[in-house]
Amino acid sequence: MIKIEKAERLKQLPPYLFAELDRKKAEVIARGVDVIDLGVGDPDQPTPQNIIDSLTAAAQKAEHHTYPSYSGLNSFREAVSAWYKKRAGVSLDPVKEIVSLIGSKEGIAHIPLAFINPGDVVLVPSPAYPVYNVATLFAGGEIYEMPLVKENAFLPDFSAIPADILERAKMMFLNYPNNPTSATAGSDFFAEVVEFAKKNNIMVCHDFAYSEMTFDNYEAPSFLETPGAMEVGMEFHSLSKTYNMTGWRIGWAAGNADIIGGLGQIKSNIDSGIFEAIQIAGIEAMRDDEAWLQEMRQLYTERRDVVMAGLEKMGLKAQAPKATFYIWVETPEGYDSTSCVAHLLEKAGIVTTPGSGFGAPGEGYFRIALTVSKERLQEALDRMAEVGF
């Protein structure tokens, strides 16, 4: 047998956060425990029936069975353009400024390959979705972490970035509404981002996956609606969370034509695009979705309120989120992130996510996902109160 040795890029990776959570959860389930999983952000509701029906009809048509375009059907990109015009007042060229993605994760993982060379620095928020770091490492770039802390409303402090880092920085990832902190960013912050990016010649890659998961009539601004944003950056989006389509793997990147073109070049050499019937279903998802959005927001509002009431009763501190389906909870006295999450899993059969798993500044927090029914959430809270801390 030959010697199999992994590449250095794999050796330098930490265990993928959610894979490790799945392993530990399986151990507890094997012992017969009824586990309530509040760890991974995977919606528990089914995909709306009209979207499923659209897929079924499109899949019956032979013209959709051939290789799709890597950049996406013109009709899908036109639907994305119409969505941006309606949602944010932004006009986008469907051909040059939009590319379809096999889920936004795919685009995030690939975009550094188009622009980052060894020695280039990528500014990455921390705590954050782990793929920003992984994508940078795979491209040979260097990571500079921008801490997201409570004292700064979980927004990065650009003034704290050293001059020598800025000289080599070429790209920056941002994500608002934010995973895992559930923080939001306003138009003033995005204006600051544009000014900072222009001054330092840095591409901005904004992850907007949670844009529609909002509470209390809050509307999350798109980075692209900021004056000057199209000159410096782009935005990732996904149909996964909004329409319960996580397994369908469909999203897009939109923004500056040169950035979108670079990502498109990578995709044309790596993948073969999204099954066209899924793109047809994606068009259906974005069409006249107001009733669905209101229903989805009401569902998560009820769940949020159940959890916030339960946490308050136990004396656990958390800011009620204005967006996302996550609650970022401060660990109780005497626990760090890892020991708190382990305690909840071992003693109460509840899966949560340690804040430290998203980056060192996440220490002192754990994340609860609102992706089970409010009845199961209440059961989880009752278990937490019973075992105590």
226 vs 194: CA distance, rounded Å: 8
135 vs 267: CA distance, rounded Å: 14
Task: Give the count of beta carbons closer than 10 Å to the beta carbon of residue 298.
Answer: 11
Domains 8-46+291-387 and 49-286 belong to one CATH topology:
no
Question: The whole model's pTM is what?
Answer: 0.96
Is residue 350 within 8 Å of residue 344, measured between CB atoms? yes
* pLDDT at residue 179 in the model: 98
Task: Encode burial over 134-153: b for 16+ CB neighbours within 10 A, e otherwise.
Answer: bbbbbbebebbbbbbbeeee
Q: Radius of gyration of the chain from Cα atoms?
A: 21
CA 267 to chain centre: 20
Q: Reply yes or no on domain 8-46+291-387 having CATH 3.40.50.720.
A: no
Mean pLDDT for back-to-back runs of 10 residues, the chain (389 residues): 92 76 84 92 94 98 93 96 97 98 97 97 97 96 98 98 98 98 98 98 98 96 98 97 96 98 96 96 92 94 98 97 98 95 94 95 98 97 95
* pLDDT at residue 15 in the model: 73
Where along the chain do its domains lie?
8-46+291-387, 49-286
* pLDDT at residue 191 in the model: 98
334 vs 235: CA distance, rounded Å: 40
Is residue 193 within 8 Å of residue 227, measured between CB atoms? no
98 vs 109: CA distance, rounded Å: 17
> Which class in CATH covers the domain with range 49-286?
alpha beta
* pLDDT at residue 17 in the model: 67
